Amino acid sequence: MSTLTPAHLTLKQLSYFVVLAEERHFRRAAARLHVTQPPLTQRIQALERDLGVALFMRDGHRVELTEAGRLVLAEAQATLAQADRVCEVARQAGRGEAGDLRVSVVISGSFVRTFSEATEAFQRDYPGVALDLVQTTCRGAIDALQQRKSDICVLRRAGPPLTGIEQMVIARDRLMLVLPANHPKALAEKVALSDVADERFIQFSSEKSVALFKQIEGLWTRTGLVPRVTQKAESGLAILALVAAGFGNAVLPSTLKGSDTPNVVWKPIDVDDQWTSSSILMLYRTEARNEKVQSRFIDYVRRFSAESN
Tens of pLDDT along 53-64?
999 998 776 789
**Low-confidence spans in the chain with pLDDT less than 50:** 1-2, 4, 7
Please name each of the domains of the chain with its CATH number. Answer: 6-94 (1.10.10.10), 99-169+279-308 (3.40.190.10), 171-278 (3.40.190.290)
Taken in order 290, 291, 292, 293, is the CA torsion positive or negative?
Answer: negative
pTM of the entire predicted model: 0.67
Question: Coil, helix or strand for 127?
Answer: coil
pLDDT of residue 34: 93
pLDDT for res 68 = 93
Please give the pLDDT value at position 192: 96
The residue type found at 306 is: A
Alpha-carbon separation of residue 144 from 99, 115, 203, 213 (angstroms): 19, 19, 26, 21
| The predicted structure's pLDDT at residue 162 | 83
Residue 155's nearest CA partner among 97, 195, 115 is 115
- Note the pLDDT of residue 206: 67
Q: 20 near 44, Cβ under 8 Å? A: yes
Rounded to 5 degrees, φ, ψ at 189 are -70, -45
C-alpha span between 29 and 88 (Å, rounded):
26
Question: CA–CA separation, 91 vs 99, rounded Å?
Answer: 11
